[in-house]
């Protein structure tokens, strides 16, 4: 004689739009984590993340439709070009002695070699 055990799969819960809106708005409060809200309302965090993403996408679409009249035009800002450096200035102090060395940019390699030797 065989015993047949019937296993029932749990039904998916359905959540009302009001419940979803309440939970998603709870996630929008500053300092509140999505995981904490999911635990509080006893729902899966991944499901809640989907709800939040859908709300954000809806807000972006709604915002872009109404924001077209409020969009500021691009305003170019002129940049003041500074003159390229004509020299390398190295200020060194060792004890009471202070030295300021000026090297032409074209001799940067010589400056680096001198500085490396001086620091040894």
Residue 7 has pLDDT above 70, yes or no: yes
- Which pLDDT belongs to residue 41? 92
CB count within 10 Å of CB 109 equals 9
- Which pLDDT belongs to residue 2? 64
Per residue in 8-62, pLDDT (tens digit) is 777 778 889 999 999 999 988 888 888 999 999 999 999 999 999 999 888 887 7
Residue 92's DSSP bridge partners are 99
Q: Would you give the end-to-end CA distance of the chain in angstroms? A: 94
Contact 103, 87 (CB under 8 A): yes
- Which pLDDT belongs to residue 83? 67
Residue 117 has pLDDT above 90, yes or no: no
- Which pLDDT belongs to residue 18? 93
Domain that holds residue 102: 87-119
Task: Verify that 92 and 58 share a domain, yes or no.
Answer: no
> Helices 17-27 and 45-66 meet at what angle, rounded to 10?
90
Residue 30 lies in a domain: yes
Task: Verify that 21 and 53 share a domain, yes or no.
Answer: yes
Per residue in 73-108, pLDDT (tens digit) is 777 777 777 666 788 888 877 778 887 888 888 888
Residue 7 lies in a domain: no
Residue 99 lies in a domain: yes
Distance CA(55)–CA(37), nearest Å, equals: 16
Residue 105 lies in a domain: yes
Residue 22 lies in a domain: yes
Return the higher-pLDDT residue of 118 and 116.
116
**Number of domains within the chain:** 2
Residue 42 lies in a domain: yes
Distance CA(117)–CA(120), nearest Å, equals: 5
CA distances from 18 to 15, 25, 109 (A): 8, 11, 70
pTM above 0.85, yes or no: no
Element (H, E) at 62: helix 45-66
């Amino acid at each position: 004689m065989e015993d047949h055990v019937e296993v029932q799969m749990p039904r998916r819960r359905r959540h009302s739009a009001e419940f979803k809106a309440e939970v998603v708005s709870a996630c929008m409060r500053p300092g509140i984590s999505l995981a904490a809200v999911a635990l509080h309302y006893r729902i899966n965090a991944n499901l809640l993340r989907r709800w939040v993403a859908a709300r954000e996408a809806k807000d972006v679409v709604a915002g872009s439709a109404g924001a077209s009249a409020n969009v500021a035009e691009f305003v170019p800002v002129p940049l003041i070009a500074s003159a390229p450096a004509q020299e390398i200035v190295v200020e060194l102090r060792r004890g009471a002695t202070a030295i300021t060395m000026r090297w032409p940019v074209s001799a940067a390699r010589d400056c680096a070699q001198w500085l490396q030797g001086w620091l040894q």
